[in-house]
Amino acid sequence: MKKTTAQNAFYAQSGGVSAVINASACGVIETALRSRHIGRVYAGRHGIIGALTEDLIDVGRESPAVIRALKHTPAGAFGSARFKLKGLQENRAEYERLIEVFRAHNIGYFFYNGGNDSMDTALKVSQIGASLGFPITCVGVPKTVDNDLPHTDCCPGFGSVAKYVAVSTREAALDVASMARTSTRVFVLEVMGRHAGWIAAAGGLAGKGPDEPPHIILFPEVPFERDNFLARVKQCVTDFGYCVIVVSEGAAFADGRFLADAGTKDAFGHTQLGGVAPVVANMVREAHGYKYHWAVADYLQRAARHIASRVDVEQAYAVGKAAVELGVRGVNAVMPTIVRKSSRPYRWVIGHVPLDKVANQEKKVPREFITEDGFGITAAGRRYLEPLIAGEDYPPYKNGLPDYVKIKGVLVKRKLSTDFKL
């Protein structure tokens, strides 16, 4: 084990996980373990919660092979958390506790792997640390399948879910085309993206042009118009014999109501949660009577490491590595970004942006990426999306299944005598 007087580093995973967040972890950890500026490397058990409760995983106790295997293992190996620290005014105690734990364990580097909210937290930690006389270098590591972080060309996690959705749409469309003569005419695939339609847009890559499925994409960015939609479905069935629809979970009416909330009730009259796909499918059935099928990809899409994009895996690793390199150079309160140099061929480099420019911002699909009718992606959209799903990066297999790794997760001995209640 490395002996050094350098300060230790703390890494945590935050929010919804992805197929490649562990690849970022691998990038952070491998780089930090090699750095002479960093002492021990700790990871929060269940993200930032591990810092508050002093549950710190000693990453140095994991074998290099296990750390390496994180690069091909989906989801959050250290545990993630949906836990947003409150504002400084509302709950200063949380921040003070964080600094207390960091101080006790001589943690001078904080690498926070998450989305918009997490960048806000990392920013606040850097501010409060300085004001409490324990300055901490805070670097965000971008992660979100939703691809909604600004100031970066894309977000690690998105490329792989995009590839999954594009591949699945192409495959399911072939299935529907086979069956449409006597059976299913309409197929609806529901994908993630509560506020931004990037994932739905990726479904558009499944076809090579407007005549190929998916025939209709429903974006959160485009207000849903029932009659217009139903007319288009009918036109597709007439023209092609079938209709493939990719719908974002965030698809909404002009007044902002989600389609998913259109109100399905169970036998007891209780509102049933979730599922825009069955709502859309039922709408089609009621209007046209077509036989339909629907699928809801849910966690399958964001955990699908088996069909990860190679570009995405590389970028996920690169932002993790860059975060540590920035940190040890003393660049504080920033997030590494992906900077696109060209689309064809695809070339990118790592840049960085101050956290206060990213925190709590949201990047939606621009109108010029969506066709005028609102149902598809344009050439510009395709040009943006296509490089992000390029290349395969298959995990190793054992007995027919991906050989994903589990960490030992040995906790560091606690130094504080106080407990912290969440």
Residues in region 172-231 near its own copies by CB under 8 A: 172, 174-179, 181-183, 187, 189, 205-206
Residues in region 243-272 near its own copies by CB under 8 A: 262-267, 270, 272
Shortest Cβ 171–its own copies spacing (Å): 4
Nearest of 103, 31, 19, 44 to residue 318 by alpha carbon: 31
Q: Which is nearer to its own copies, 99 or 173 (CB)?
A: 173
Q: CB of 148 within 8 A of CB of 363?
A: yes
Residues in region 1-20 near its own copies by CB under 8 A: 13, 16-17, 19
Q: CB of 358 within 8 A of CB of 119?
A: yes
For the chain, the first-to-last Cα distance in angstroms comes to 33
Of the residues 55, 120, 146, 148, only one is catalytic, namely 146
Shortest Cβ 199–its own copies spacing (Å): 14
Residues in region 305-324 near its own copies by CB under 8 A: 305-307, 309
Binding of residue 79 to its own copies (CB under 8 A): yes
Q: Contacting its own copies (CB under 8 A), which of 5, 89, 273, 330?
A: 273
Residues in region 46-65 near its own copies by CB under 8 A: 46, 49
Q: Which is nearer to its own copies, 132 or 295 (CB)?
A: 295
Residues in region 378-397 near its own copies by CB under 8 A: 386, 389-392, 394, 397
Is position 255 annotated as part of the catalytic site?
Answer: no
Q: Contacting its own copies (CB under 8 A), which of 287, 303, 331, 412?
A: 303
Shortest Cβ 406–its own copies spacing (Å): 9
Q: Contacting its own copies (CB under 8 A), which of 63, 228, 299, 383?
A: 299
Cβ-based neighbours of 235, under 8 Å, separated by 6 or more = none
Shortest Cβ 284–its own copies spacing (Å): 12
Size of the site for its own copies (CB under 8 A): 81
Binding of residue 119 to its own copies (CB under 8 A): no
- Catalogue the active-site residues: 146
